[in-house]
Structure 1
Amino acid sequence: MLALRLTRAARPAVHLRRLLVAVAAAGTGFLLLSALGYAVVHPTHSTAALLRLSWCLGPLAATVYLAIAVARTDPGTRPRPGLSALGLGPGRLMAIAALNTALACTLGSLVALLAFLHLRGDLPGMAFDGAAKDFLAANRSLPVPAALTLLAVLPVLASAAVAVILRPRDLPDPAARARGFGRFGAYGNRTQAETFGTYGRFGARLFGSPPRPARPATDGTAPSVPADTSAPDGSAARAGAEDATGQAPAERAPRPAAASGPAGLAKTPGGLPWGVAVIAAGLAVESYAGATASPRTTLPGGLTVGPVGVLAGWALTALGLTLAAPGLTHLCGRLLQAVRPGALRLLAGRVLMAEATRIGRPLGIVCAVASAAFAARTLYAGGATLAFGPLTALGGVVVAGCALATLLTAAVETRQLRADTTAALLRVGAPATVLRSAAALRTGALLAFFAPLTLLVADLAALPLAR
């Protein structure tokens, strides 16, 4: 009930994002039911039915990824001060986010089932004739348990993924983490190891007078420290510099580490070398598979492509782009600040470097989808045997739409995370036009860097099939 109330009280933008998840779930559910219909019509073609079912893995993964991105930007499941006292701690908010995701995906699955039954003629309406009977199984009874099982896969996977991503992480209290054990088990805040002179100092305090506190200096110089002769290594003289709190001046005011340039503000993502290696491996697999004499494969909807190895190469190339995109985004931020940057370029570059991981991964997926679409268009223009059926078009639309929606949702998330920084800049007098110009500069830099990269990968991916 609480999840329904939070869903109803959300803003229109939040409802729009949830509606996108439901639409993507409807398209994926229809593809799963179509694979089931083909298996019912052709019970002896188990390999072809399994291939059609595996063709649904791409839209399924894209829908789950979109659901995770939407759940992370949902303001109703964001921890706030005071909610734990009402029983809405991080665990409860995670459960609400998973339930909202399950509701959206279930709604989309029900819409897919109704559309599939309507096209079959089971509901009032007109069934399709001709080639549509191949995947609708209009003249056969549809196994209800199998259909419900396939439709339940997406809500279960999406809600489980959201629960794993948004699970509460037990972070130790900063005060408890800073507390340490002092001399002989006494509580204190010292984090440095005790020296040998400590034990001599302990004996001196047992059998002699305790060291006198340092007298404050009146001439502005450092306070004088009385020497303790009970410590042979002179550590008691250093200990005398501690104040009443038991902390040395160096411990009270540690000097911050100097950040050398932009690298000190944002950690460089570490997936760039692995991503380049996986892209090279994918292109090599495509070239090898295109040169062999393997039979061609017909995908759902009538799409006829080269060997199955080429599809594996495309999958590796897409994975490599996803891994390398955060590092490339970080590199774009560095290039924006390369030569005597002004305030605008410096702000745009630092934001790109700080948001490289959050923006880079959805951007890499968009580049992978765009490169695959461009490669298919290149092959079609070159006279290759490409027949796009309705299911192929539906799968492509679901994957491309989910990738683009995930990228826009990630942009919304980054804007929410830096809302405090933006408000602080506005309070100190930064013009709003500067912030908009920095956002436009970041977008232009990403387009100028990733557009040629996408075209290059698409050309290299289409080269084995064009021969």
Structure 2
Amino acid sequence: MLSWRMVRGARIGAMGRWLLVVAAAGGTGMLLLSALGWALGHAQPGASAEVRLVWCAVPVAMTVQVAAMVGLAQPLGWPGSGLAGVGLGRKATLLIGAAGTALACALGSALALLLFLYLRGDLGGVPYTGSAAGVLGAGHRLPAAGAGTLLAVVPLGAAAAVAARVWQPPAPAPGAGPAGLPWGVALTAVGLAVQVAAPHGDALPLPSGLGSVSAATVAGWVVASAGMVVAGPGLVFLCGRLLALHRPGALRLLSGRALQQEARRIGRPLGLLCATATATLAAYDLQHGSGHRLGPLTTFAAALVGVCVLAVAGTALVEVASARGRSVAALRDIGASPALLRGALALRTGVVLAVAVPLTAVVAAFATVPATR
């Protein structure tokens, strides 16, 4: 309970991040339970229930990412000297953070189960009869083992993601650049090539009646998205190197050095944002071509994924701003003007956007080829 005692006395920002984890886990739990309810409410669920469960993997992965990032941010912000004084080292603090993360996700899953049972009418009320009544499976016995297994996916996955940090190698020297840019570019190119060459198929129906895609198309999208995430830190570091080239002034030097130092923190969230943007553009192209409207569960899942992605990016930016506090104070002590600091921030943001937006547009254009040809 050490982590939760520290959360109780933390600032509103830390408590807000934990509440976001609880809400994300609850939303993902509702999606998983809806797939189970659909299978219960239909006599022959067949592939439909399986496909619904497969598409739940995207919000599950994003919820685990958010929970792991928040769970890692908490022990890294603890006073290390005080914890070392009571015999808690790096591994112990990370394991405590993993336990706290699992507890937060379990709380969200429990709230999702209570809401699902209430809508089904199992808690003494009247079953919900709205447009989403088909996913509740009202009138059918809810298998406790199946519901418990589905709801345990997010807490166990988040705890494992935080605990895996124990076995990661130590961080490299501050001046060393990320080594993932070539691998990220290669993965993105391979994923796009697979998507372009993938034939039309009906192996995996899309939600809300948007059509069907082949398994190769989905595999190519996963590989390309992973490549963009892997290439993010190297791309940010390269932007910083380019800014600081050829006799830079104070503005370019500050901006370039800051990007190189922060590349590992903001690179992967930036790649995740780009991958989400490409998927959003591809989904919009599919919806525009088919003329179907998104259903309530699909809209909810898309909103949940978007909130999780923005939360990951926002948490990374908050960590970067906190780590930059001492450097900003030192610059002010030597006479740096507030206008210079604001200009450096604007220049960093502009350069990253000038590189990330066109690359995202190009990847999105190739990603929509299987749906438009």
Q: Identify whether the pair has TM-score above 0.5, normalized to the shorter chain.
A: yes
1:326 aligns with 2:233: yes
Identity of aligned residues (%): 48
CA distance in 2, matches of 1:387, 1:305: 15
Indicate if the aligned counterparts of 1:283 and 1:461 stay in contact, CA closer than 8 A. yes
In the alignment, which residue of structure 2 is the partner of 1:377?
284
Q: Given the superposition, is the C-alpha separation of residues 161 and 100 from structure 1 closer, same or farther in structure 2, using an over 3 Å criterion? A: same
Between stretches 108-117 and 429-438, larger displacement belongs to 429-438
In the alignment, which residue of structure 2 is the partner of 1:203?
none
- Tell me by how many angstroms 1:364 deviates: 0.4
In the alignment, which residue of structure 2 is the partner of 1:118?
118
In the alignment, which residue of structure 2 is the partner of 1:274?
183
Q: 1:111-150 counterparts in 2 under 5 A? A: 111-123=111-123, 125-129=125-129, 132-150=132-150
SS of corresponding position for 2:127: coil
Q: Which amino acid aligns with 2:298?
A: T
1:58-103 superposed Cα distances (whole Å, 9 cap, x missing partner):
1111111111211232268534224322233333322331222122
In the alignment, which residue of structure 2 is the partner of 1:418?
324
Q: Given the superposition, is the C-alpha separation of residues 72 and 431 from structure 1 closer, same or farther in structure 2, using an over 3 Å criterion? A: farther
In the alignment, which residue of structure 1 is the partner of 2:19?
19
SS of corresponding position for 1:39: helix
Q: 1:436-447 counterparts in 2 under 5 A? A: 436-447=342-353
1:347 aligns with 2:254: yes
CA distance in 2, matches of 1:124, 1:158: 33
In the alignment, which residue of structure 2 is the partner of 1:365?
272
Q: Which amino acid aligns with 1:341?
A: P
In the alignment, which residue of structure 2 is the partner of 1:239?
none
CA distance in 2, matches of 1:162, 1:123: 35
SS of corresponding position for 1:73: helix
Indicate if the aligned counterparts of 2:101 and 2:155 stay in contact, CA closer than 8 A. yes
- Tell me by how many angstroms 1:386 deviates: 4.2
CA distance in 1, matches of 2:276, 2:64: 16
CA distance in 1, matches of 2:124, 2:246: 68
Indicate if the aligned counterparts of 2:51 and 2:204 stay in contact, CA closer than 8 A. no
Q: Given the superposition, is the C-alpha separation of residues 315 and 81 from structure 1 closer, same or farther in structure 2, using an over 3 Å criterion? A: same
Between stretches 29-38 and 83-92, larger displacement belongs to 83-92
1:21-69 superposed Cα distances (whole Å, 9 cap, x missing partner):
1111111111111111122234644433222212111111111111121
SS of corresponding position for 1:456: helix
Q: Given the superposition, is the C-alpha separation of residues 307 and 82 from structure 1 closer, same or farther in structure 2, using an over 3 Å criterion? A: closer
- Tell me by how many angstroms 1:14 deviates: 0.3
In the alignment, which residue of structure 2 is the partner of 1:202?
none
Larger gyration radius, structure 1 or structure 2: 1
CA distance in 2, matches of 1:451, 1:370: 9
Q: Given the superposition, is the C-alpha separation of residues 442 and 64 from structure 1 closer, same or farther in structure 2, using an over 3 Å criterion? A: same
Indicate if the aligned counterparts of 2:200 and 2:370 stay in contact, CA closer than 8 A. no
Q: 1:234-313 counterparts in 2 under 5 A? A: 266-289=175-198, 292-295=199-202, 297-313=204-220
Q: 1:451-466 counterparts in 2 under 5 A? A: 451-466=357-372
CA distance in 1, matches of 2:166, 2:66: 14
- Tell me by how many angstroms 1:6 deviates: 0.9
Q: Given the superposition, is the C-alpha separation of residues 126 and 350 from structure 1 closer, same or farther in structure 2, using an over 3 Å criterion? A: farther
- Tell me by how many angstroms 1:18 deviates: 0.9
In the alignment, which residue of structure 1 is the partner of 2:63?
63
SS of corresponding position for 1:83: helix
CA distance in 1, matches of 2:21, 2:264: 23
- Tell me by how many angstroms 1:165 deviates: 1.4
In the alignment, which residue of structure 2 is the partner of 1:51?
51
SS of corresponding position for 2:132: helix
Indicate if the aligned counterparts of 1:303 and 1:392 stay in contact, CA closer than 8 A. no
CA distance in 2, matches of 1:301, 1:135: 13
Indicate if the aligned counterparts of 1:73 and 1:412 stay in contact, CA closer than 8 A. no
Between stretches 423-432 and 146-155, larger displacement belongs to 423-432
Which is helix-richer, 1 or 2? 2
TM-score (norm 1): 0.74
In the alignment, which residue of structure 1 is the partner of 2:310?
404
SS of corresponding position for 1:142: coil
Indicate if the aligned counterparts of 1:35 and 1:53 stay in contact, CA closer than 8 A. yes
Indicate if the aligned counterparts of 1:79 and 1:89 stay in contact, CA closer than 8 A. no
SS of corresponding position for 1:81: helix
Higher relative contact order (CA 8 A, sep 6+): 2
CA distance in 2, matches of 1:168, 1:87: 21
Q: Given the superposition, is the C-alpha separation of residues 356 and 453 from structure 1 closer, same or farther in structure 2, using an over 3 Å criterion? A: same
1:96-131 superposed Cα distances (whole Å, 9 cap, x missing partner):
312221222112112211221222222355533365
- Tell me by how many angstroms 1:134 deviates: 3.0
Structure 2 residue runs without a partner (length 5+): none
Q: How large is the RMSD of aligned CA atoms in angstroms?
A: 2.5
In the alignment, which residue of structure 2 is the partner of 1:191?
none
1:216-249 superposed Cα distances (whole Å, 9 cap, x missing partner):
xxxxxxxxxxxxxxxxxxxxxxxxxxxxxxxxxx
Q: Which amino acid aligns with 1:312?
A: A
In the alignment, which residue of structure 1 is the partner of 2:300?
394
CA distance in 2, matches of 1:347, 1:166: 33
Structure 1 residue runs without a partner (length 5+): 172-263
Indicate if the aligned counterparts of 1:272 and 1:328 stay in contact, CA closer than 8 A. yes
